[in-house]
Amino acid sequence: MAIKLYAKIVNGKIVGLQNMEESLIGGFKGHWVEGQEEFGIGDLYDETNGYSVYIKTTEELEAEAIQWRDLELQATDFIVPLTDFPNHTAWITYRQTLRDWTTTEDFPNIKPTAPAEL
């Protein structure tokens, strides 16, 4: 008999993954469904459509936000010494807003907005 991947579902989340023969699945307590290679522990499982969706952790979201912020600061570094740069004061304020962003209620969900396109 062929071995397949099975996912254990608790409250709509994948809490376990196991490769086993179909005939053995009945010996395990809980709600199990046939899995797919892309399933991961912690993913949400949609009972209606039979797919899982990875949900990023807070730490992952914050790390991505900080990486984006750092790239924004790096991309605007050249503006700092150019006091005649158009809208210079707004850009300097934007850069400070980027630095302060991690301590606000908006972090990491609402990114600061640049004053204008470069």
H-run or E-run covering 89: helix 88-100
- Confidence class for position 52, pLDDT limits 50, 70, 90: low
Same domain for 31 and 64?
A: no
Domain with 75, as residue range(s), is 58-103
Point out the domain boundary residue: 38, 53, 68: 53
- Model pLDDT for residues 15-29, shown as the tens digit of each residue: 988 898 887 877 778
Distance CA 51, CA 39 (A): 8
pTM of the entire predicted model:
0.59
Residue 118 pLDDT > 60: no
Place of tokens 């984006």: 68
Task: For residue 4, give the amino acid letter.
Answer: K
Q: Indicate the number of domains in the chain.
A: 2
The mean pLDDT value of the chain amounts to 87
Residues 10 and 48 in one domain: yes
Q: Which helix (H) or strand (E) holds 74?
A: helix 58-76
Rounded-to-integer distance, Cα 36 and Cα 52, Å: 9
pLDDT for res 2: 81
Asked if pLDDT for residue 39 goes beyond 90, the answer is: no
